[in-house]
Amino acid sequence: MIGMIEALPHLSASYTTPAARGARHVLNLMKAAADVEARSQGGSEVQSAFRDAKSLARPRAACWKHAYMQWDDSFFALAGVIISQRNPYSWVLAMFSRPYHHVGARIKDLDTFISTPWLTIPRERMALAVASPVALWVEKLAAAQRFAKQAEIPVTFLAFEPFLADPVARLGAALSELGQSAAGLVALAQSTKTEEPLEKVQARHAAEPWRKWLTSAQVAAINAHLDPEVAEAAGYALENPANFPDVLADADARTLQDYLTHRQANKPHRA
């Protein structure tokens, strides 16, 4: 979605603060040194720390796109805000397969992952820890819902699933809600992170494979960390664990493993 919007020149915005401008040059120099270290050693926690520092030096309207949302005057630089949201059950599987910015040892068991406390990074601009990855979804979306009520500029929500099914129509409608023209909007041919063709991504999500990849116990564990009001306000009903198997069928277990293997082997070009 961001890539599609960036291709429309009339939707650019400039937001900065004296503090951000003053910090930028020093932080860029320090990050460059960290990048050199990362290339020589195959990765660096210092590199991640500087990304956090750069993000925290920016006003909220220009901070990390996944950060906890909170209204402030910097958002007046924008024509409006589009907030993306995703089905929590599908999201949990995606995060398990590729746990962006997970702190600590990699958790390889889905049951454990669902209920393990999640430590946040500074870019999140929120509490240092939440009860679970599911709680992270709840906290972020609840903040976005509050933001929409407090914002003094237009705000609209765009669910990931219908957007993926028809990117131009759905994003075009969202832009229209903000009073912006969608002229010239075109769908990207492939994922900006993994270069997977759009048609392949669309086919996978249209089938809702997560319905065959979660057990009844896992759905119950997810529900235990979900806030029904937050989920329902986003258009997602809590799933009934009784509609899911006690144990995955062999064929479904294999397709789940194929999905996890594919996601882990095709790491994104940027986080």
Encode pLDDT of 21-30 as tens digits: 555 555 565 6
Q: What is the pTM of this model?
A: 0.86
Helix-then-strand count for the chain, H and E: 13, 4
Q: How confident is the model at residue 16 (pLDDT cuts 50, 70, 90)?
A: very low
- Higher-confidence residue of 271 and 195: namely 195
pLDDT above 90: residue 76: yes
pLDDT above 60: residue 186: yes
- The stretch 28-43 carries a mean pLDDT of 58
Cα distances (angstroms) measured from residue 265 to each of 197, 205, 214:
16, 19, 22
pLDDT the model gives residue 7: 79
Least confidently predicted of 37-46, 122-131, 176-185: 37-46
Whole-angstrom Cα distance, residue 126 to residue 257? 33
| Count of CB atoms situated within 10 Å of the CB of 210 | 21
- The stretch 258-269 carries a mean pLDDT of 77
Percent of the chain exceeding pLDDT 70 equals: 85
pLDDT above 70: residue 225: yes
pLDDT the model gives residue 100: 87
Q: Which residues pair with 118 in a beta bridge?
A: 130
pLDDT the model gives residue 203: 94
CB 119 within 8 A of CB 103: yes
For the chain, strand residue ranges (E) read 81-85, 118-119, 129-130, 155-159
In a 10 Å sphere around its CB, with 0-12 CB exposed, 13-18 middle and 19+ buried, how is residue 136 labelled? buried
pLDDT above 50: residue 15: no
Least confidently predicted of 43-47, 54-58, 128-132, 153-157: 43-47
- The stretch 148-165 carries a mean pLDDT of 96
User: What is the pLDDT of the chain when averaged over all its residues?
Assistant: 87
- The stretch 3-32 carries a mean pLDDT of 61
pLDDT above 70: residue 253: yes
Cα angle value 193/17/121 (rounded, 5°) = 45
CB 263 within 8 A of CB 98: yes
- The stretch 258-265 carries a mean pLDDT of 86
pLDDT above 50: residue 207: yes
Q: Residue 204: what residue type?
A: R
- Higher-confidence residue of 85 and 30: namely 85
